[in-house]
């Protein structure tokens, strides 16, 4: 039977008992308002582990003062129902006070966070790394599941796990999309009908960029230009960034050279009104 636990000590005690009994632990960190993308992570965890923990916590330290913390969508009842049906064993649902009372310790990953969303959202990844570190310490999972849609976040978390010798395997899961290609996101609920229709250009640009790279186009500027041209066909779209980077270092590249060790990341962030959507493709 699924449990919903609100405090750290009880959560740690339950997981500790599971591990004493030889269970493997899968963990899916979320900010709630769960959709099919989250569900795919949960289902993979349930299939690969004896026990699955899902956290639901809107983390204030990863939001800038001008961002959408106060209006971030929430539906705890729907989230609970989805988790129960998917076979989750424990929902960790802490308050801000539970996670950050008298708090003064933060985690930074340097280098990987300088560009893309790190440039557009200063301090964002400091908050992400801090909360993920805390959640890993609380739930002590064997495996943790993240979606490719947040590719930079995934790279940063993998680097943190490597650098801090964390005993957890970070699993990458594919982006789940709407029928028209738009990547599933909790923030899609902010879009007006007109903005939602316009947002299709984001995935269209991603698919075209991926096609060009796979077809052998070498000049990054040409790929970026083609992607920007697609997005700019929509008057409601305001580009934050369109970039092709090395998928390991997150540094910009000028030429696409495909070798056995190459990892090419094409990433975009686009505003529709006040709603910022991200998407990406990876070619290796």
Residues 16 and 228: their CA atoms lie apart, in Å, by: 50
Is 124 considered catalytic here? no
Active-site position among 38, 44, 121, 159: 38
The total number of residues written for the chain in this structure? 284
Distances (CA, A) of 12 to 90, 139, 173: 11, 6, 26
**CB 27, CB 55: distance < 8 Å:** yes
Say which DSSP state 128 is in: H
**CB 276, CB 199: distance < 8 Å:** no
Distances (CA, A) of 87 to 18, 26, 209: 16, 12, 37
Helix/strand/coil for 270? strand
Q: How many helices (H) and strands (E) does the chain have?
A: 10, 9
**CB 39, CB 82: distance < 8 Å:** yes
**CB 64, CB 110: distance < 8 Å:** no
Q: Which residues are catalytic?
A: 38
């Amino acid at each position: 039977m699924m449990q919903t636990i609100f405090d750290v000590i009880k959560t740690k005690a339950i997981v500790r008992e599971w591990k004493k009994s030889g269970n493997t632990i899968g963990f899916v960190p979320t900010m709630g308002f769960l959709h099919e993308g989250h569900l795919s992570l949960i289902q993979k965890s349930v299939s690969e582990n004896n026990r699955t923990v899902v956290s639901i916590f809107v983390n204030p330290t990863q939001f800038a003062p001008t961002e959408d913390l106060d209006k971030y969508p929430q539906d705890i009842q729907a989230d609970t129902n989805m988790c129960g049906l998917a076979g989750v064993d424990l929902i960790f649902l802490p308050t801000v006070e539970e996670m950050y009372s008298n708090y003064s310790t933060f985690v930074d990953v340097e280098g990987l966070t300088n560009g893309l969303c790190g440039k557009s959202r200063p301090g964002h990844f400091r908050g992400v790394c801090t909360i993920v570190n805390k959640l890993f310490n609380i739930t002590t999972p064997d495996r943790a599941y993240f979606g490719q849609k947040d590719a930079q976040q995934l790279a940063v978390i993998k680097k943190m796990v490597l650098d801090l010798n964390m005993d957890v395997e970070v699993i990458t899961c594919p982006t789940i999309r709407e029928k028209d290609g738009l990547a599933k996101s909790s923030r899609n609920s902010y879009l007006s009908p007109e903005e939602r229709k316009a947002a299709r250009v984001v995935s269209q640009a991603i698919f075209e960029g991926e096609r060009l790279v796979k077809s052998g186009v070498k000049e990054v500027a040409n790929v970026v230009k083609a992607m920007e041209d697609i997005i700019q066909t929509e008057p409601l779209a305001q580009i934050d960034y369109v970039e092709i980077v090395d998928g390991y270092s997150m540094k910009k590249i000028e030429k696409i050279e495909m070798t056995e060790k190459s990892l090419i990341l094409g990433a975009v962030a686009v505003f529709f009104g006040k709603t910022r959507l991200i998407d990406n493709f990876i070619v290796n």
